[in-house]
Amino acid sequence: MFAEKMLRLVAGLFIGGYVARYLGPSQYGLLNYVISLVTLFSVIGDLGMESILVRELIRHEEKRDRILGTAFTLKIVAALLIFVLLIVLAQVTTADAKTRTLIYIVAGGTLFESFRIIEYFFQSKVWSKYLVWSQISALAIISIYRITLVLTEASLEWFAWTYTLDFFIVAVGAIFFYFRNGFSPLAWKFDFTLAKDLLKNVWPLIFASMAVSVYMKIDQVMIKWILNDEANGYYGVAVRLSEMWNFIPVAICASLFPAIVSAKQTSEYLYLNRLQWLYDLMIVISVCIAVPMTFLSGIFVRIIFGESFAAAGDLTSIYIWSGVFVFLGVASSKWIVTENLQTFRMYSYIVAAIINVLLNFVLIDYLGLNGAAIATLIAYAYASYFSLLLKRKTRPVFVQLTNSLNLWKTPRRLIRGFSNLDKVN
């Protein structure tokens, strides 16, 4: 997983920078706006099922075909509804024909995301290598295609198609490796009772995912509305440089989640010990990324994206610190699911989304793009950290995260954890 994500990081930086230089701030900003707008709605089609499905596949492997079949049916129906909603939304709210076309193209990729349930199956088996192979194949094809588009001076619409093509290739790869391991999607079965149970468990996560999408992407949509495409282009570069590291907590937590679930069934002490070690690891890695990026982001922007995007340097030095709370949020979300506190997470994300929207309205007017970055940082901090202080059952995790934020003690505790792997692995 790390190898694939590192390749994606390098490709995203250099090929993404190559594409951005060609498109320029305005066209790049418009493309980022469309992607952010589609993401705001497409996240509903995911139904927030990832952690729930991984947990259920671990606990009830004998029900694999019913779980996957039911989840796939729910996801494909949701994806179709979202696709239609995006088409209607584009017609009603967007006067520009070019922007509407871009929305239609990028929205088409959401239909292929339904096959992500195979990814959840691979996670439950800790078989990430199969997913990685399909993603690397997609990355290679898309990278070559984007370079070709620049060399042939293609229009913006062709670059939008690369996002849909990426989803399609990953879906085909996942199906291929699922067949190759002796399984078949043809064996999947829809179970109405199981569907009701799944929806009962995931409905808080659906709203939570919507709220996450809002507080993560609404800034880029609002910048387009309040400022312009060029400003959104600068901001999009800052977001790319800051969020390109987010694969690290996702990869680590995806691999460790089965061990954390099994630890709870074995020993409460072992369970809490593993969680604290995970939080410590997240803090150390995220701070080691944020500190150098704070001082070197201007240089990175100029080298990778060119002088035309130089304004994104200062933005990145602010936005990069939201990554600390992203790392903590990804890790603590595993505890939330294990403890069945999805409703709490839903409310915390909804409040964070409201905070981000309100702060964006105020701060963009006063501080411009820096205001949007500050608003996002505050929203991330609330959702992943401060909200845990509000509920009695979540306060122990707030204490654990606070312990991890103590940068004087955390590295030493983390090293002790590595020297006692039998207690954390």
- What are 200-209's pLDDT values in tens digits? 766 666 776 7
Per-residue pLDDT, averaged over 138-159, amounts to 89
Model pLDDT, residue 417: 60
pLDDT at site 302: 85
Of 181-185, 234-238, 282-286, the range with the lowest mean pLDDT is 181-185
Question: Which pLDDT belongs to residue 421?
Answer: 45
Identity of the residue numbered 396: P
pLDDT at residue 23 in the model: 87
User: Tokens representing 247?
Assistant: 């694969």
Is the pLDDT assigned to residue 360 strictly greater than 60? yes
- Name the token pair of 352: 């964070």
For residue 330, the SS3 value is helix
Tell me the mean pLDDT in the region 368-384.
Answer: 88
Question: For residues 164 and 157, what is the distance between their CA atoms, to the nearest angstrom?
Answer: 11
Mean per-residue pLDDT for 31-51?
75
Q: What angle do CA 375, 322, 312 make, to 5 degrees?
A: 75
- C-alpha dihedral sign at 322, 326, 327, 329: positive
Q: Would you state the structure tokens that stand for residue 383, as one six-digit string?
A: 């959702």
For residues 271-281, give the mean pLDDT.
80
- Of the candidate ranges 250-254, 285-289, 306-310, the one whose mean pLDDT is the lowest: 250-254
* 423 pLDDT above the threshold of 70: no
Distance, in Å, from the CA atom of 102 to the CA atom of 117, rounded to the nearest integer, reads 27
In tens, the pLDDT along 87-125 reads: 887 777 766 788 888 888 888 888 887 787 787 777 777
Considering the entire predicted model, what is its pTM? 0.72
Average pLDDT over residues 54-68: 76
Tell me what the pLDDT averaged over the chain comes to: 80
What are the residue ranges spanned by the domains of the chain? Answer: 2-423
pLDDT band for position 149 (50/70/90)? very high
| Integer Cα distance of 12 and 18 in angstroms | 9
Length, in residues, of the chain: 425
The closest of 82, 43, 49, 76 to 197, measured between CA atoms, is 49
Q: Is the pLDDT of residue 1 over 80?
A: no
Q: What is the pLDDT, as a whole number, of residue 205? A: 67
Residue 7 burial (C-beta neighbours within 10 Å; 0-12, 13-18, 19+): middle
Q: Extract the tokens encoding 153.
A: 């001076």
Low-confidence winner among 79-93, 136-150, 258-272 (lowest mean pLDDT) = 258-272
CA–CA distance, 287 with 284 (Å, rounded to integer): 5
pLDDT band at 148 (very low <50, low <70, confident <90, very high): very high
Percent above pLDDT 70 for the chain: 89
Tokens in use for 280? 């410590």
Residue with tokens 């507080």: 215
Q: Among 47-56, 62-71, 169-178, 318-327, which stretch is predicted with the lowest mean pLDDT?
A: 47-56
Q: Is pLDDT at 274 greater than 80 in this prediction?
A: no
Contact 369, 234 (CB under 8 A): yes
Residue 420's pLDDT band, with cuts at 50, 70 and 90, is low
CA 22/CA 334 separation, integer angstroms: 40
pLDDT band, residue 419 (cuts 50/70/90): low
pLDDT at 111: 82
- Highest mean pLDDT, choosing among 73-82, 151-160, 277-286: 151-160
* CA dist 362 → 348, 365, 402 (Å): 21, 6, 30
The whole-number pLDDT of residue 425 equals 43
pLDDT tens digits along 216-247: 777 777 887 787 778 888 888 888 888 888 87
- Residue with the bigger pLDDT between 120 and 402: it is 402
